[in-house]
Amino acid sequence: MKHQIGSWTSAGFLVAGFWGLYAFATFPTTWTQPIMWTAFLSCPIAFASFHFHFALGVYWSLLANAATYALVGLMVENLRRPVIHAN
């Protein structure tokens, strides 16, 4: 199960990294509404930062998104695990 949680954490890190690179590449232009909602759904710390009006650096965003994906992955993997009944 450790490998699955590591995979979820890596996915969260890569998603946040992608959005960071995308933001740096398209900085002067404005983001359209569908792109913003896609970023908010795939990177929940960005939504929290936008909603509660606090600035968040790219490195902290990477770390927070990886931790969020790890927690979601832990919940999903625990739900996927077969239940073993001991008699």
**pLDDT per residue over 20-39, tens digit each?**
888 888 877 777 778 778 88
pLDDT of residue 86 exceeding 80: no
**pLDDT per residue over 52-75, tens digit each?**
888 878 788 889 999 999 999 999
pLDDT at position 84 is: 67
- Token readout for 72 is 């979601």
The tally of CA atoms less than 13 A away on the side-chain side of residue 56 is: 21
Length of the chain: 87
Alpha-carbon torsion (52, 34, 44, 25), positive or negative: negative
pTM attached to this predicted model: 0.77
